[in-house]
Amino acid sequence: MSGSLLWMTTSAAQASPWAVKTLTDRAAEALPSSPWLTLAYLAGSLAALGALVSFLGMSLIYVERKLAAHFQCRLGPMRVGPHGLLQTVADSIKLLLKEDIVPERADRAMHLLAPFLSMSATVLALAVLPYSPSLQIADVNIGALYITAVGGLGVMGTLLAGWSSNNKWSLIGAMRAAAQIISYEVSATLALLVVVLFAGTLSLSGIVQSQAAGWWIWRAPGVGIVAFTIYLIASTAETNRTPFDIPEGESELTAGFHTEYSGLRFSFFFLAEFINVFVVSAMAATLFLGGWMPFRVGGLDGLNAVMGLLPPGGWFLLKTCGVVFLLMWSRWTFPRLRVDQLMRLEWKFLLPVGFVNLAAAALLVLWNLYFFP
Amino acid sequence: MTVRIRTLEEIVRPPQTADSPFSTQEYFVNMGPQHPIAHGSLRLVLLLDGETVRRVIPAPGYVHRGIEKMAESLTYRQIVHLTDRMDYLSALMNNWALSKTVEEAGGIATNPRIETIRTLMAELQRVQSHILWWGVLGMDLGAFTAFLYAFRDREIIGEIFEDTIGARLTMNYIQPGGLMFDVHPDFARKVKKLIVYLRTILDEYDTLLSGNAILQERLRNIGVLTPEKALALGCTGPVLRASGVPYDLRKAEPYGVYDQVEFDVVIGSRGDCWDRYYARIEEIRQSLRILEQLIDNIPPGPTMVTKFAERIKIPEGAYYGQMETARGVLGVFLVSDGRADTPYRIHFRSPNFNNLWAITALAPGWRIADLIAIQSSLDLVIPDIDR
Amino acid sequence: MGIALEKISGVLQKFPGGSVLATSFDAVANRARANSLWPLAFGTKCCAIEMLMATGGPFQDMARFGSEVARQSPRQADFMVIAGAIVRKMAPCVRLLYEQMAEPRYVMATGSCAISGGPFLYNSYTIIRGVDEIIPVDVYVPGCPPRPEAFFWGLLTLQKMIREGESLRAPGIRRKPVTAALPQGITLQDIREEMRRLLEAENVVDVTKATEARAWTEKVEQWTQKHCLRF
Amino acid sequence: MDAEALLEVLIASEPAARKRDKTNRTAIQAPVENLLPLMKRLRQDERLAFDLLLDHTAIDWLAEGRFELVYNLYSTIHGHSLMVFTSVPRDNPLAPTVSEIWPTAHWQEREVFDLFGVLYDDHPDLRRLFLDDDWKGNPLRKDYQDDSMLARPQ
């Protein structure tokens, strides 16, 4: 194992064309010469993050609505802008201007706080995602762990929202959300650990670079695809989407934990859900599909050169979109699971499989039984 | 004498507060009248223990319009339009049930053409109603796409109705003594096309929803209704047949031209939600069989045997007529005093009214999500309960 | 937050040239509101099948106008479609739902039952003759039940009203343009008067008396006072 | 069992029951005191075995000062049906409940209680069904008055 690890680190340091330079690196470099440039970098990255969040949210909502419509033999939004492109813009402006209601008997402070907590948890995750070698805000050396930790924070917002609304349906929804997210976090982490074992690093850009000879989904024979599937199922559950949308469960709990929210605060939950979809898709792409790394097979230089024609950012976007499509596809196809079936799936099926998979992965790494070790 | 009149508030009292902050307690929640599962405006008061349903108290009446009182001052032909608005998904069958009872009581004999067209229309409506139910069940269980597929196919049948009747939902087509209009010249061609189309589409339904492991998990062995219980609760229609009782009025007391066509009564074996689900899917297939046999054999003849403006008078007496609608037995109980051309009293025995109460026996012990599945599988139309 | 934003146009006006800005801000806001009307999933009777289900279906597709996001919670909905008869037992619930919706909120009464009681006008002991007795209605869509096309007519009328009528600085103007859907030169008042004249000429109903005689409207009012006062 | 044989069996077992004319189905009339034993027999007798109570409702005969209660029975085992009529006085409308024999009667009786005001002895949960608990009067009675009802113009 140490051999392969050494190979990884050396290859990344010496011969890789993918020298990663994050925004924080640039800011740190600029600090001695001109502190103003540093500030400009910081302000720029903050603005970019804000723009990214709103753009991502809006475009994903638009895509989801269009996609759903086409799955269902409909047209979807058509009237606002060409093919309804401005539909989500109109929706956002309307939600911004909508009255903001706090129910009389709600816990006012918590009720106001919850959507921001939910939102910030997902936005924090965006900071460490490697979009391309030159576009990453910070490359934390425990990136994978950080994403898991921050992802777990989001449930606080949901729980708070359900509790503070003083509505029984909201509370049921929040309790379901807490039980579900905490359970599925375990499986998601187990799947993530498989890749960490192979890559030998927790840093997300390090994981991407470790896939220069091939993506872990196929390079780790068997365990890669199993881990990918587990990760996809667990992360769908974490984002509360069908077939795991029991916390909102429209036909059961009216609107679940955000029943009492209106206007902007409701839109925060709405946006957080879609940013979350992006984050888990980007994570699935980063961990298993090589992130911004083009499709490469170790040794086939001709293929690698052709694949390298598309810039890394494009690859990242393509893969993420693929996973997003997969998530949306399942959302508009499956019925909803029941809460105890959901728990059974996690604790009696995904978790044991995840553990076995992790052990198998450890053995494979130990004996170097994977492609291009 | 032990008559004690109670009120809902008396029953729905908040339980005693817990002594210790860590002990649990049961709590009441309102499901409806505005709730996605209300399918209109049904209110269920649930006593929950965590997620488990301990008790269901249905509180109907949120669309009680007093149709029975209104009908006492209307002539028999005028009442027909009110029956549309009870179970609007089986509007034609409701029309027919009233017409049939009035014809039986007033001694009006119809001709084979009228009966054949009535049967055809009723079966088309049954198919339409079951398709809509399928979609709504999908929506209730979270598969929204099923709902829109159902509406796609429902519109096609709606178009056939529109050609002949001119209405999409409240038909007012089958009248005592005949039909409002003759069928559209395109009717037979379109129905034949529809039969071919629906046969393929039913397979698609199976692929999309019936074969889905999650759906089967959600429906199988949930809310088992034994035949004895179903009969005791007065359930009829697919709900009763799914429990294994082959009680179908189309066979038991044939009306229309049901005695001349070949079809099977679909019965279930266990009486769980899945049986109720698949019984209806299978009933669509049986209805297609009936349509297929009749569509080429519409006999010639007039479509109205009485004069339209003629006021029907019924001799003194009490009459009961019943019909199998998409949801069960719709009974019409008619009392005439023999003097006026309006009924002295009319009462509708609605299938949904009796099927609704099955939920009080089925849901306790299951989770909220199962309650949704159970209610969906009962296929309730609330305005028919409330009348 | 929403309240703070609503003050923007008022603040803008104080600056030189601000009224132009404020007007354009209003125009943008109104266009956004008009094009993003999310209905409340609430139907009582047959009209619900046509108004909320069939219109969402593939043949009609409400989503083209951006209205397919049917919200189950009244807090998140923009307009309420009263689809079907409202009876006295339901009246407080409808009122409560309306009170729970966030401003700006709109109401569309579809079908004769919701507009006037329709087929249940006479001899029904529970019916409410027109949902506008409990909540203000913006658009009336006649029919029994109306066709989905009629619903779209109502939706587009509502959109037109919002685009043209309402301003952030003067909310509530939208109550007036109900007549936007009427032919030129005829106001709603004219129609009411005409209806009244016709009804009274036939000596069928004494409209004033019939309205005053309904003691239960007071009950709804009391109930609302008791339960929804703080909204 | 055909209608004649059915009536024979019935009247032999319950002497107070009489055949009722002017109906389109087999029907018997019984005094309200004998209703409960009669109903029990109808349900339990193997030759009769009426296991499905299809319908229960009432008729308000205002001029005669009585309510007529109607039970509509069907036997899925034998395939025969029967209507049972009984009368209760209008000023003291008290009838025995049959909800222990057919649980479906529970709600059908509540409906009749709501709309006619017929009281059911020993009914486990006698509440208004469709109307509010504080509603005055019983709308389906012929003499029901309501300010909010608009009379239909003739």
Q: Where are the beta strands (DSSP E) in B184-275?
A: none
The two three-digit tokens of residue A290, written as one number: 């090589």
Collect all residues of chain B within an 8 Å Cβ-Cβ radius of residue A172: 51, 368
Domain boundaries, chain C: 36-182
**Average pLDDT score, chain C:** 74
Give residue C228's pLDDT.
47
Q: Give which of B41, B153, B352, B384 to mutate to test C binding, by max C Cβ within 10 Å.
A: B41
Report how far apart, in Å, the C-alpha atoms of C131 and of each of C77, C83, C98, C121, D7 are.
Answer: 19, 10, 12, 13, 53
Find the closest chain C residue to A82 by CA distance.
Answer: C64
> What pLDDT score was predicted for residue C202?
60
**Per-residue model confidence as pLDDT tens digits over B15-66:** 666 667 777 777 788 887 888 777 778 888 888 887 888 888 888 888 888 8
Residue B220 in contact with partner chain C when CB distance is under 8 A: no
Model confidence at A293, pLDDT cuts 50, 70, 90, reads: confident
Kindly state the average pLDDT of the residues A218-231: 86
Q: Quickly state the pLDDT bin for D3 (edges 50, 70, 90).
A: low
Min Cα distance B363 → chain D (Å) is: 16
Q: Hey, are the CB atoms on B335 and D59 less than 8 Å from each other? A: yes
Interface test with D, best of C93, C116, C124, C125 (most D CBs within 10 A): C125
Q: Which two tokens stand for residue A80?
A: 């606002």
What are the residue ranges spanned by the domains of chain A?
Answer: 2-366
pTM here is 0.86
* Beta-carbon contacts of residue C208 (< 8 Å; ≥ 6 apart): none
Mean pLDDT of C61-71: 84
Average pLDDT over residues A331-353: 87
- Record: contact B143-A339, CB cut-off 8 A: no
From residue B65, alpha-carbon distances to B85, C41, C126, C214, D149 in Å are 10, 22, 6, 16, 11
CA distance B104 to B98: 10
Q: Which residues, 6 or more positions from C199, have their beta carbon under 8 angstroms from its beta carbon?
A: C205, C207
- Residues of chain C in contact with residue A259, where contact means CB-CB under 8 angstroms, are 72-73, 75
DSSP characters over D104-133? THHHHHHHHHHHH--EEET-TTEE-SSS-T
Q: Shortest CA distance to B374 belongs to which of B235, B246, B266?
A: B235
Q: Check pLDDT > 70 for residue C230.
A: no
End-to-end CA distance of chain A: 9
Q: Is it the case that residue A10 has pLDDT exceeding 50?
A: no
The answer to whether chain D touches chain A by having 3 or more C-beta pairs less than 8 angstroms apart is no
pLDDT band at C173 (very low <50, low <70, confident <90, very high): very low
Residues of B in contact with C101 (CB under 8 A): none
- Percentage, residues of chain B above pLDDT 70: 97
Q: Tell me, what's the pLDDT at B4?
A: 76
Q: So what's the pLDDT on residue B35?
A: 80
- The chains in contact with chain C, meaning 3 or more Cβ pairs closer than 8 Å, are A, B, D
Is a pLDDT exceeding 80 seen at residue A342?
Answer: yes
Tell the burial category of C185 from Cβ atoms under 10 Å away from its Cβ (0-12, 13-18, 19+): exposed
The model's pLDDT over A149-206, given as tens digits with 9 standing for 90+, comes to 888 888 888 888 888 888 888 888 888 888 888 888 888 889 888 888 888 888 888 8
Are chains D and B touching, using the cut-off of 8 Å on CB pairs and a minimum of 3 such pairs?
yes
User: Span C36-182: which CATH code?
Assistant: 3.40.50.12280
Strands D18-19 and D126-127: unpaired
- Cβ contacts of residue A246 below 8 Å, gap of 6+? A176, A180, A240, A252, A336, A337, A338, A339, A342, B369
C71 SS3 class:
strand
Q: Among A251, A330, A339, A349, pick the best mutation site for testing chain B contact (most B Cβ within 10 A).
A: A251
The dihedrals phi and psi of D73, each to the nearest 5 degrees, come to -115, 155
For residue A223, what are the CA distances in angstroms to A29, A184, A187, A345? 40, 19, 14, 19
Best of D136, D148, D149 to substitute, by most chain C Cβ atoms within 10 angstroms, is: D148
Q: Which neighbouring-strand residues pair with D88? A: D67
Q: Which residues in A lie closer than 8 A to residue B51 (C-beta atoms)?
A: 172, 176, 339
Q: Tokens 């050609």 map to which residue? A: B163
Contacts of C28 in chain A (CB under 8 A): 93
Q: Which residues of B touch D127 (CB under 8 A)?
A: 5-8, 11
Q: Report which DSSP code applies to D138.
A: -
Q: What is the pLDDT of residue B130?
A: 92
Is there a contact between C108 and C80 (Cβ–Cβ < 8 Å)? Answer: yes
For the cut 80, the answer to whether the pLDDT of residue C4 exceeds it is no
* CB D31 within 8 Å of CB D16: yes
Instruction: Single out the residue of B86, B79, B47 nearest to residue B65, CA to CA.
Output: B86
Provide the pLDDT for residue C224.
Answer: 59
* Interface residue C16 vs chain B (CB under 8 A): no
Residue A69 identity (one-letter amino acid): A
Is residue B271 within 8 Å of B244, Cβ to Cβ?
A: yes
Per-residue pLDDT tens for D38-75?
888 888 877 778 888 888 999 988 888 888 899 988 88
DSSP string for A113-135:
HHHHHHHHHHHHHHTT--SBTTB
pLDDT at A352: 92
**Which residue's structure tokens are 């129609």?**
C191
Q: What is the pLDDT of residue A372?
A: 74
Of residues A1 and B362, which shows the higher confidence score? B362
Supply B384's token pair: 């028919």
Query: Residue B160 is encoded by which pair of tokens?
Result: 């056939």
- pLDDT computed for residue A1 by the predictor: 37
Kindly report whether the peptide bond that precedes residue B302 is cis, defined as omega within 30 degrees of 0: no
C231 pLDDT above the threshold of 80: no
Cis peptide bond prior to D93, omega within 30° of 0: no
Contacting residues of C for D131, CB less than 8 Å apart: 89, 126
**Closest Cα to residue D49, out of B341, B79, B228?**
B228
- B10 or C72, which is more confident: C72
Task: List chain B residues with CB under 8 Å of A243.
Answer: 142, 214
pLDDT digits (tens, 9 = 90+) for B344-360: 889 998 888 888 888 88
Residues A173 and A254: their CA atoms lie apart, in Å, by: 10
Chain D residue closest to B349 (CA)? D55
C residues 155..194 contacting B (CB < 8 A):
none
Show Cβ contacts of residue C19 under 8 Å, excluding neighbours closer than 6 positions.
Answer: C12, C13
Contact D83 B320 (CB under 8 A): yes
pLDDT digits (tens, 9 = 90+) for A18-77: 677 777 777 777 777 777 777 887 788 788 778 888 888 888 888 888 888 888 888 888
Q: Quick: pLDDT tens for B239-282.
A: 888 888 888 888 888 888 888 888 888 888 888 889 889 889 99
For residue B143 the two structure tokens come to 């598969």
The residues pairing with D53 across neighbouring beta strands, listed in sequence order, are D73
Q: If you search the block for the tokens 């503070």, which residue do you land on?
A: A164
Cβ within 8 Å, pair D23-B321: no
Of A108, A116, A122, the C-alpha closest to A163 is A108
Instruction: Give the distance from residue A83's alpha carbon to the nearest chain C alpha carbon, in angstroms.
Output: 9
Q: B76-386 has which CATH code?
A: 1.10.645.10
Tell me what the pLDDT averaged over chain B comes to: 85
- CB-nearest to B234 from D27, D104, D119 is D104
Q: How confident is the model at residue D15 (pLDDT cuts 50, 70, 90)?
A: confident
Where do the structural domains in chain B lie, given as residue ranges?
Answer: 76-386
Q: What was the pLDDT predicted at C175?
A: 45
The pLDDT tens digits of the residues spanning C95-140 come to: 888 888 887 888 888 888 888 888 888 888 888 888 877 888 888 8
Q: For residue B33, is the peptide bond before it cis, meaning its omega torsion is within 30 degrees of 0? A: yes
Mean pLDDT, rounded, of chain D: 83
- How big is the CA angle at A232 (ends A228 and A238), to the nearest 5 degrees? 140
Q: Edge-to-edge strands of the sheet including B345-349?
A: B317-324, B329-336, B345-349
Q: What average pLDDT does the segment D140-154 reach?
A: 78
Percent of chain A past pLDDT 70, that is, above it, reads 94
Tens of pLDDT, residues D85-105? 898 888 888 888 888 888 888
pLDDT digits (tens, 9 = 90+) for B57-112: 888 888 888 888 888 888 888 888 888 888 888 889 999 999 989 888 888 888 88
Q: In this structure, are residues B234 and D104 in contact, taking their beta carbons and an 8 Å threshold?
A: yes
Structure confidence at residue A75 (pLDDT): 86
At B338, give phi and psi (nearest 5°).
Answer: 80, -5
Higher pLDDT, B113 or A28: B113
**What b/e string do you get for D2-25 counting C-beta neighbours within 10 Å, with b at 16 or more?**
eeeebbeebeeebeebbebeebeb
Question: Beta strand pairing status for D66-74 and D81-89?
Answer: antiparallel
Angle, CA of B127, B129 and B135, to the nearest 5°: 105
CB-facing half-sphere around the CA of C116: CA atoms within 13 A: 13
Across A20-29, B177-186, C14-23, D10-19, which has the greatest mean pLDDT? B177-186
Percentage of residues of chain A with pLDDT beyond 90: 2
Specify whether the CB–CB gap between B336 and B353 falls below 8 A. no
- pLDDT band with cut points at 50, 70 and 90 for residue C199: low
Contact, B351 vs B327, CB < 8 A? yes
Interface test with D, best of B9, B10, B69 (most D CBs within 10 A): B69
> Could you give the domains of chain D?
3-95 (3.30.460.80)
Q: Closest Cα partner for B72 from A208, D142, D56, C101? A: D142
Determine the Cα angle at B43 with ends B42 and B47, to 5°: 140
Is D24–B73 a contact, with Cβ atoms under 8 angstroms apart?
Answer: no
Q: What is the mean pLDDT of residues A304-316?
A: 79
Q: Residue C44 and residue B85: Cβ atoms within 8 Å? A: no
